[in-house]
Chain A
Amino acid sequence: MTAPRQFLKGNEALAYGALHAGLQSFYGYPITPSSEVPETLATQVGRPEYPEFRTFLQAASEVEAINLMLGAAATGEKTMTATSGPGFSLMQEGISYAHGAELPMLIANVNRAGPGLGNLGPEQTDYFAAVKGGGHGGYRNVVLAPDSVPEMASFPSLGFSLAFRYRTPVILLTDAFLGQLKEDLEFPTIESPTFDTPWAATGARGTTRHVLSSMHIELPEQNLVSRHLRDKFAEITRREQRSEELETRGARVVFVAYGICARLAQRAVRVLRDRSVPVGLFRPITLAPFPRDRLRALVDEGVRSFVVVELNTGQMVEDVRLAVDGAAPVRSMNQFGGLLPSYRDLVDEIGALAA
């Protein structure tokens, strides 16, 4: 690279970010608008720059991909896939099994529009599937939401840290806009941490063997395991809530938005602050665990109401309402079908609130 800074698509940044984070294997199946992730990685496998990245395999389907990852993760390998809605649906069974056996892995979902085939425009309609868990048996994903190309590059590292620290699948939830957007970025000097994986199934040693299973046929045993999973997510919720704020100090109204909507809201906040309207932006970085503590604190700091902006018919707004718990009104602003709102819609919404 001659230029000091790089100029990459979100999906490319995600691929390189994962490589910098020490990615060892990628299993996936092509689907627009995520295909640049496997296409970028296919050019890098076996390169001396990334000696750890040894396996790139295009699976026969997303069902196969997630199960290939179950195997890779069971050996303690850093493994990842990238997909979009229809593929994410097919992966739900495997994700459930990964939770049952506590296997770390990174799953990027570049959210496209609509149920079924829908279209290739950006949406945030997979919020529920990612945050509430789209598969069976009651598990909780950790869900990260980047809002820029630099974050697409740095979040794989964060994702792997959380995945291995808590032995959990981590979802990187992004959208068709951020996947295709190109921005300048300084490649973060991401450390590629190695994690202790004494639980990995790589052969029994002496009296220690490794049984990675989600089947607990004795009822009390399943009860214990489910308690453990519950307590684990409670600990994650205590320790790992992440968010970012813009101009929330002195704000009366605060936008809550993630991903590309957070960028639109940034613009709206700047415009409104120039007109001396006291508004701010609260951006959840972890959609799960939802950063409810900080959001709730905003009410005590004087925020009178919240406006949730999202590309669906209203999903995150439920978590915002839970966090605020009736202490302030929460309004919902939506756009969907692959369309984006204008920042002016956001500005007008505040105008209506102020009036």
Chain B
Amino acid sequence: MDGTLFRSVNKFFIIAFCLDIKSYKSFMHRPDSFFLATKMAAPLTLLLIVAVTIRAVLFRSSLAELISARVEVVSPLNAWKRVVEGLALLDLGVSPYSGDVFHETPLMIYLFHFTVDYAEIVFIVTDGITALALYLSIQTYNKDVFRKQKYALESDRYSADCLELLRSPKEMFYIPLKVAMFYLLNPFTILSCVAKSTCGLNNAIIALFIFCTLKGSALLSGILLALATYQSIYPLTLFAPALLFFLQRLYIPVNLRRSSFWFFTLQYAFMYVGSLVVITGLSFFLLGSWDFIPSVYGFIFSVPDLTPNIGLFWYFFAEMFEHFRLFFSCVFQINVFFYTIPLSIKLKEHPVFLIFMQIAIISIFKSYPTVGDVALYMAFLPAWSHLYRFLRNIFLVSCVLLACSALFPVLWHLWIYAGSANSNFYYAITLLFNFGQILLVADYFYAYLRREHHLTHGLYLKKKDGTEATLVLK
């Protein structure tokens, strides 16, 4: 008796909810889209203006020089000082890769060859583009999520008691804006931009790649992914989520025995590899030599520069005997690529979340990480705000990340200037910072899976003996 009542009430709620969705849909596809545009465009413009003002003020202040010397903000790969050095060599007619200073890609140096006088504007605009791309991506993604949720509801795939887990248009409305805000106003992004770290450009390429992928343009996605890979290799692992996304979009099941699967995979891989070859070939013709391959990719893989940074590599490799170096550089580099396989299997239904996980893993395990990399994946956090209730360590993680960000410059001061501390102090904080990041990512991963589990199995789980059950990640 009670059960049927409960069910009917629930049914009522679900119907009400669908109505809500319909109103949302009609809202999204309103004929007077101008109204919508102005409604969201105003805060976005305001946000852009604020972000640009902050950056412009900082560029003009004396802090800019200080920031651009911080090891947390710039790495040997993306320091502006090195770009300038490369440009000087290029102007002298010498290969910019002679000497061991310059490690940017040839396209990057030609970009700055023409825009070096407007470098500050380039960096500000790049940040704006990244934020816009992220904004539009998340908007598209949210619509997508919503559509899927509706179909799932209509086909009764969700458990009856998980109504409160469903997402409502009201809470989702401001998420794209929040994502853009998290990127533009994140102190890490601001620091990175003011330091003129080329990390901002790489972020823009990745953001554009995500945008094109979510918009469903396989060709552009392939080209941008190739460009991102060309810039820093590691985005290579984003191939898997992009492929999964397209497969899902085209309703092609991930089945190794189906020819349609292989056909599309090969098609996408061809676009990707083809553009990679074209870009690399173009670089060769620009410079007339293959110097950049060892100088950029060799430099990323073999980690010869052990300047301290927020990553895990420098300390280990500084302490290591030379004959173990090859082995350990393989072990360390494998970290970035290895997690792609299990994550792709586990998250094959959720490629966008997989993209987030991959970007986070890249920024944690890459050989020369900077805070700019961290900022990119942190921008996605508002998109997962519905997972908030399942996060377990968010207090601990935010305390750790906050404290570490403050302690980096303090311990650097004690080590380098005061001479009273040593590298162990700094590395301890690096370790803690990465521990915090890993915990954050793991927490979101767990929360995402748990929500999915509840959606299908119901929110109130019971053990076999009828007591309340809890989910444990082991």
- B partners with A: no
